[in-house]
Amino acid sequence: MGEFNEKATCGTVCLKYLLFTFNCCFWLAGLAVMAVGIWTLALKSDYISLLASGTYLATAYILVVAGVVVMVTGVLGCCATFKERRKLLRLYFILLLIIFLLEIIAGILAYIYYQQLNTELKENLKDTMTKRYHQPGHEGVTSAVDKLQQEFHCCGSNNSQDWRDSEWVRSGQAGGRVVPDSCCKTLVPGCGQRDHASNIYKVEGGCITKLETFIQEHLRVIGAVGVGIGCVQVFGMIFTCCLYRSLKLEHY
């Protein structure tokens, strides 16, 4: 019986250090997850106003929330491990499971939206650009369109001819411009009055393909982070169950 208890204690110590190491890595992973979410919201969200669906934004918020919870859970995991409190271990396991589900959901949302993105942009981007550009209450769209056209060297959704349907151009508010100044290769006030290929991004094509590629690349990052960290957490849940069982054996 004494030999059994000694082996159980030795196994518990090994599990404690394994779980502690996992918690340290887990805390860093939580920081990485939160950083990806914040990166999406702060630096990659310029074009969110051009998207009809809120899925792209939702995945970023899920990652931020999951990252914060992961970091808090990592501290709880360390306490549960070294204090050998089975109640804390149960709580730690439940939180790991919740975070795991959150990150898997973020990954699945990213994958689904990745598949639907092309259809959404084809159905909505041209209307968004032509009906909301320089319209009252749509300053975010105006800023996003200007940045999109300058950053990706494109003009219009499919091509520069899209701007002929623009309410801004038709209303006369454009001041003689046939395309926004952001379509110009050299950006100067009023340059959009001339739509020759030497002046604007005419032969380079529309923005729809370039925006789709940009968002798809970022969705791959979100999906990979969500699913990758989620899979790592499976090991944490296994270690937690093993330690919980080991403490239960020692108790008896």
pLDDT by residue (tens digit) across 135-191? 998 898 999 999 999 999 999 999 999 999 999 999 888 889 999 999 999 999 999
Q: How far apart are CA 28 and CA 75, in angstroms?
A: 11
Among 68, 31, 66, 63, which Cα is nearest to 45's? 63
Mean pLDDT, to the nearest integer, of 60-85?
Answer: 75
178 or 97, which is more confident? 178
Mean pLDDT, to the nearest integer, of 13-40?
Answer: 74
Q: Do 198 and 149 touch, CB atoms closer than 8 A?
A: no
Mean pLDDT, to the nearest integer, of 194-211?
Answer: 89
Q: How far apart are CA 250 and CA 58, in angstroms?
A: 45
Q: Is the pLDDT of residue 8 over 60?
A: no
Q: What's this model's pTM, rounded to 2 decimal places?
A: 0.73
Question: pLDDT confidence of 7, banded at 50, 70, 90?
Answer: very low
Question: pLDDT confidence of 106, banded at 50, 70, 90?
Answer: confident
pLDDT of res. 151: 92
Q: How far apart are CA 107 and CA 133, in angstroms?
A: 32
Mean pLDDT, to the nearest integer, of 214-233?
Answer: 77
Q: How far apart are CA 161 and CA 211, in angstroms?
A: 18
Q: Is the pLDDT of residue 9 over 70?
A: no
